[in-house]
Amino acid sequence: MRDRAPGSRPSLWLAIVALVLLTAGCTRGERAADSSIPALTPSSPTQAGAHTPVANPPPGTTSAPSASPIWTPSATATAAPSPTSTATATLVPSLTPSATPCAEPAGRMVTGTFPSAILGMDQLYRIYLPPCYATSGRLYPTLYLFHGNIHTDSLWDELGADEAADAGIRSGTLPPFLIVMPFGGEIANNTSGGDWSFEGVVLHELIPFIEDRYCAWPRPAGRAIGGLSRGGYWSLEIAFRHPDLFAAVGGHSAAIYEDNAGLAFNPLSTGLDPRLIGLPIYLDIGDQDYLSQGVFDLHAAMEEAGIPHVWRLNIGAHEDAYWRVHLVEYLVWYASHWPADESGFPPAAGRDCGS
């Protein structure tokens, strides 16, 4: 200011006053703009080019078990949360596996076929048998996992389901259980529900075959069902129509559309059945998943209808990297509905468990 001529000071004061008035006007404008932003609701995720993950499960939903530490798989994930993200990526502490509970260091993945009159041919499946399965003298809980429409029965194997189960069993985080991974094929891709669909194959052929061929716990308390993408549709379609047959159901990145099935089959309608109250249900989706709208719609409808369920909106897209990151969380959640160890399983009563 010392470089200015004395006659310039009035202009200076006018400039300062104008600047103050302009700043105050901008502040009022920003506050007015803030007041126009709609408040977020649990069933209406924000859109800013993409859905913004929520920080916590919305009110009225249940939370996944978090008391027990969870083994972290060694596979490198490509869909890791960024440091500035607001999404809730479940933090998973690492565990050092303890001594194996039996002489076998790991379980086994077995492939086979089961007969299907609905298909008119035998159908492929894979099954994970936990360590000491054939010698424990127990019947095991069984998790049925379905793949997407571009995959095969190898998908969950390739994602690391058996390695994750082995590590969890060694550490004591997971009880031993069977994992059945059937091939869906054309009937899973081209039907929507009923006895002559993939639903019929699972209920009338696959499950009876597994419970006859292996030492699987043949009661609703011993069965869980889940799947991803198209397989997520099928797990929800089957369990929502038959909630009395399963201990838990999960739909991971489920392919759900308003018009992809009739009212009798579509989870958007069957998911509102009061009979589902009491059936543990898990829904999750990635914030960049192109199938997210159907899952959001189902979550909102179930919440409004008072159907309890676990709801997880995570970072990620519709891809193997997303499912691999959350695989251990899935297994821990399913297994949380079974006894913590073999002592709570029914005895095999001398039955030959096969191999």
pLDDT, averaged per 10 consecutive residues of the chain (355 residues), comes to 39 38 37 30 31 34 33 33 33 37 87 97 98 94 97 97 97 96 97 97 98 97 98 98 98 93 95 97 98 97 98 98 98 98 94 79
pTM, two decimals, is 0.74
Quote the pLDDT of residue 355: 62
Q: Helix 161-171 crosses helix 320-335 at what angle (to 10 degrees)?
A: 40
Which of 331, 291, 352, 342 is closest to 181 using CA atoms?
331
User: Are the C-beta atoms of residues 19 and 11 closer than 8 Å to each other?
Assistant: no
Supply the pLDDT for residue 10.
39
Terminal CA-CA length for the chain = 92
Which tokens sit at 28? 């009022």
State the pLDDT at residue 204: 98
Ordered alpha helix ranges (H), the chain: 9-35, 155-159, 161-171, 185-190, 198-201, 207-213, 230-241, 267-270, 292-305, 320-335
DSSP, res 145: E
Q: Residue 352: what pLDDT?
A: 86
Q: Which fold has domain 108-344?
A: Rossmann fold (3.40.50)
Q: How far apart are CA 264 and CA 133, in angstroms?
A: 39
Q: What are φ and ψ of residue 117, in 5° steps?
A: -70, -30
Residue 101's pLDDT is what?
A: 56
Helix (H, G, I), strand (E, B) or coil at 270: helix
Strand partners, 113: 124
Helices then strands, counting H and E runs in the chain, come out as 10, 8
CA distances from 80 to 104, 117, 153, 324 (A): 34, 44, 26, 11
**What DSSP line would sit under 135-151, residue for residue?**
GS-BPBPEEEEE--TT-
